[in-house]
Structure 1
Amino acid sequence: MKIALASALLLSVTPLSAVAQDHAGQRAEWNRPQQPFRIAGNLYYVGTSELAAYLITDPAGHVLIDVPLAESAPRIAANIEALGFKVRDIRRLLVNHAHWDHADGLAAFKRLSGATLWASAADRATLESGRATDRDDLPPLAPVKVDRILRDGDVVAIGTTRIKAHLTPGHTPGCTSFTLETRDPRISQGRPLKVLLACSMTVAGQRLVNNARYPAAADDFQRSMARMKSIRPAIFLNFHAGGFDLAAKRARQLDGDAAAFVDPSEWPRRRLEAEQAFQTELARQKAEQPAAR
């Protein structure tokens, strides 16, 4: 969500036409093509160069998590077909959080696939209205109907595939992380690999103090970070490619390292970095508040 903070700063000094141009440039940069590939087992990367989309396959039907931009939808569909799967076999659409750079393409992909969208109750209003309920400095997204509400601990089940939803609010009120297990004979002799697809733990322009739209933002961040300590994934994935060094890992994978995405130490390290950055930003925002008289 770098563009969100940039937009907020630019609005005070730059004509709106320039802000719109900056947003268009960000969209184009983040929507550059990325060759789709298998991460491990039945888990595939089908997103763009910077905005992630994940396909989890099963003989009974597939699940797609995130369709970032409306203009990403045909690219993601082509990526899925290039891997040998059919868009019409996607049964469920999931979303990690309801911001333009992760959810704008959901409506288009629903039309392409006929899949149903499952999302958290707290992000539903943003998804269905196209306007963020938690802040007023973000571009809109294409409105999309939520077909089923995901609650904390709910499991999305298709065939033998099980994807567990973890409500981890803070970045948005309904920010949702997902865990699953996959098996890959090339990695760990086919033993189950736990995967965490983590919703953003970054503040990225969110108001943590005196936020009338989202008063619980700071408390939600802290609770989410605390509860995520207990998750111990072998594979950590983020919804921005740069958030988990996709390019470097993919390069190692192409060089023959089948386990390039396996690193049990990564999530604890990333979580701690996010917590430290959050505390720094919270202290900064508190210090900006006028002194009480």
Structure 2
Amino acid sequence: MRKISAFALALAFSISGGACAIAAPPAIWSQPTKPFKITDNIYYVGTKGLASYLLVSDGKAILLDGTLAKNAGPIEDNIRALGFKLEDVKIILNSHAHYDHAAGIAQLKRDTGATFMAMEQDKRALESGTPEGDTNYGIIRFPAVKVDKALHDGDVVALGQLRMTATLTPGHTKGCTTWSLKDTDEGTERQVIFPCSVSIAGNALVGNKGYPGIVADFRTSFERLGTMKADIVLPSHPQVTGLWEQKARRDAGDKAAFVQPGLLHKIVERSQAAFEKELKAEQK
């Protein structure tokens, strides 16, 4: 039996059928925090431990990720705190079909009336509320949500002046989607990337009957992300880039605190090394 990682144990607060509780999700994942501006048109509206981003143009907005179901209300509060109405959110996007990033989407979609778009490969999981693939922590379900428009690799989602490109970077889930766009940061153009996770996070790499192509998909994603350039990296788990430390530096006067060229490649290198190590261990 494979050893359950600390991350996977924290993740697995419920098992298929909901009868067995292993552990609660980290408290920081639902800890409210005030929204704040990152670039000229991108705002953080998530919690302390799970990211949700609001991208605005001409008074309308795109919301990326809904985090936990219990976080939908706080996300809505943050949107209002920025001076927007919920109905200003016209499009909701998702990074991937796991409960800590997708569970709040069903309520957010109902309350905003927004169109929900997601990668085709994650559509079945999102619409069933059941992630696909074998893990070492079981199945963690989330509220199912209808995908109004299925996206494909390279599709561009447009709203006002916003142009968000969807890049399929599978492995973590079948439809794991890295989002990218150009935005201005106090007038300076920046390439902003919202990378989908390339961490293993409890996924079985060997003998994964629910996701037999997982190893090849991870390697494809490492290659794809390794060629992408980013001035600003905004992850779904803020601790991945030290986002709160970046914010503290910016609040202290460092206007370029979120600008870290090369950071994306460092994240990919660390994740790939961890992947190869885990794969080798599972193959023994």
Instruction: Give TM-score scaled by structure 1 length.
Output: 0.89
Find the counterpart in structure 2 of residue 6 from structure 1.
Answer: 9
Alpha-carbon distance, 1:244 to partner = 1.2
Find the counterpart in structure 2 of residue 238 from structure 1.
Answer: 235
Q: Is the 8 A contact 2:183 2:191 kept in 1?
A: yes
Alpha-carbon distance, 1:114 to partner = 0.2
Find the counterpart in structure 1 of residue 141 from structure 2.
Answer: 140
Find the counterpart in structure 1 of residue 188 from structure 2.
Answer: 191
Alpha-carbon distance, 1:192 to partner = 1.3
Alignment of 1:274 with 2:275, yes or no, is: no
Gaps of 5+ in 2: none
Alpha-carbon distance, 1:6 to partner = 1.3
Q: Is the 8 A contact 1:4 1:138 kept in 2?
A: no
Find the counterpart in structure 1 of residue 212 from structure 2.
Answer: 215
Alpha-carbon distance, 1:8 to partner = 9.2
Structure 1 runs, 4 residues or longer, greater than 6 Å off = 1-4, 7-11
CA distance in 1, matches of 2:73, 2:175: 26
Find the counterpart in structure 2 of residue 259 from structure 1.
Answer: 256
CA distance in 2, matches of 1:201, 1:30: 19
Alignment of 1:164 with 2:161, yes or no, is: no
Aligned partner of residue 57 in structure 2, secondary structure: coil
Amino acid at match of 2:176: C
Gaps of 5+ in 1: 288-293
**How large is the Cα RMSD of the aligned pairs?**
2.0
Deviation readout 1:191-214 (Å, 9 max, x if unpaired): 310001000010011011111100
Q: Is the 8 A contact 2:10 2:26 kept in 1?
A: no
Alpha-carbon distance, 1:7 to partner = 6.6
Alpha-carbon distance, 1:230 to partner = 1.5
Q: Is the 8 A contact 2:37 2:43 kept in 1?
A: yes
Equivalences for residues 32-71 of structure 1 within 5 A: 32-59=31-58, 61-71=60-70
Amino acid at match of 1:101: D
Alpha-carbon distance, 1:3 to partner = 6.9
Deviation readout 1:226-264 (Å, 9 max, x if unpaired): 011121110011100111111211111111112111010
Aligned partner of residue 210 in structure 1, secondary structure: coil
Instruction: Give TM-score scaled by structure 2 length.
Output: 0.92
| Range 77-86 or range 200-209, more displaced | 77-86
Larger radius of gyration: 1
CA distance in 2, matches of 1:140, 1:4: 17
Aligned partner of residue 145 in structure 1, secondary structure: coil
Alpha-carbon distance, 1:184 to partner = 2.2
Alpha-carbon distance, 1:5 to partner = 2.2
Find the counterpart in structure 2 of residue 150 from structure 1.
Answer: 151
Alpha-carbon distance, 1:82 to partner = 0.8
Amino acid at match of 2:239: G
Deviation readout 1:96-128 (Å, 9 max, x if unpaired): 000010000000001110001100111111111
Identity of aligned residues (%): 39
Q: Is the 8 A contact 1:63 1:92 kept in 2?
A: yes
CA distance in 2, matches of 1:276, 1:27: 25
Aligned partner of residue 163 in structure 1, secondary structure: strand
CA distance in 1, matches of 2:174, 2:106: 21
Q: Is the 8 A contact 2:12 2:140 kept in 1?
A: no
Q: 1:180 to 1:8 in 2, by over 3 A?
A: closer
Q: 1:118 to 1:9 in 2, by over 3 A?
A: closer
CA distance in 2, matches of 1:214, 1:109: 29
Provide the aligned length of Structure 1 versus Structure 2: 275
Amino acid at match of 2:139: L
Q: 1:37 to 1:8 in 2, by over 3 A?
A: closer
Q: Is the 8 A contact 1:46 1:52 kept in 2?
A: yes
Q: 1:209 to 1:194 in 2, by over 3 A?
A: same
CA distance in 2, matches of 1:9, 1:96: 19
In proportion to residue count, which structure has more helix? 1
Amino acid at match of 1:100: Y
Alpha-carbon distance, 1:9 to partner = 9.1
Q: Is the 8 A contact 1:60 1:158 kept in 2?
A: no
CA distance in 1, matches of 2:92, 2:176: 15
